[in-house]
Amino acid sequence: NKIGDEGAQHIGEALKINTVLTTLNLWCNNIGNEGTQHIGEALKINKTLTTLNLANNRIGETGTQNIGEALKVNKVLTTLILKYNKIGDEGAQHIGEALKINKALTTLKLFDNKIGAEGAQHIGEALKSNMVLTTLILEDNKIDAEGAQHMGEAMKLNTVLTYLKCAPAFPPT
């Protein structure tokens, strides 16, 4: 499917009033930054959605900012999948800021998002105070030794993260 930003607007409007949907999978739907604005606004209001999959869309820094702002006030979303987008270090900063405040999200999948050392630093800083997130997937990004240092410092203080994956998608041969 290719619902795009216009379709995301319709989904967002429905989420504002829907009281039964718990899982929304919008994987590979050509949703960009504009679409995430509508989804984000809905997440600020919605009280039932616990799982949101926005993998393999066109989400960049602005889109991640939209989702991050929603995460700051959302109290029910427990799983967020943003893999195969292009959020980069700036997007990781928005996610990190949200994780410092959010008290519901337990699983975050950021597989293949062009996140480097700077992004790892932002997420690592958030993990020092976030005591809710238990699963973090950073597989197949651009995290190097410096990024690993930031994550390691976070692990010294974080007592709830039980699964962290920073491996490449396919091990080198």
Structure confidence at residue 173 (pLDDT): 60
pTM, whole model, 2 decimals?
0.96
DSSP 87: -
78 Cβ neighbours under 8 A, 6+ residues apart: 50, 51, 104, 105, 106, 107
Q: Consecutive 10-residue runs of the chain (173 residues): their mean pLDDT?
A: 96 98 98 98 98 98 98 98 97 98 98 97 98 97 96 96 89 62
pLDDT of amino acid 167:
87
Collapsed DSSP state (helix, strand, coil) of residue 80: strand
> CA-based angle 26:116:126, to the nearest 5?
75
Number of Cβ atoms within 10 Å of the Cβ of 103? 10
Measured distance CA(121)–CA(89) in Å, rounded: 9
Q: Which of 52, 161, 165, 41 is nearest to 115 (CA)?
A: 165
Helical residues (DSSP H) of 18-144, grouped into ranges: 33-45, 61-73, 88-101, 117-127
What distance in Å separates the CA atoms of residue 55 and residue 52, rounded to the nearest whole number?
Answer: 9
Sheet with 79-81, edge to edge strand ranges: 23-25, 51-53, 79-81, 107-109, 135-137, 163-165
Confidence (pLDDT) at 1: 85
Q: What is residue 145's predicted lDDT score, i.e. its pLDDT?
A: 95
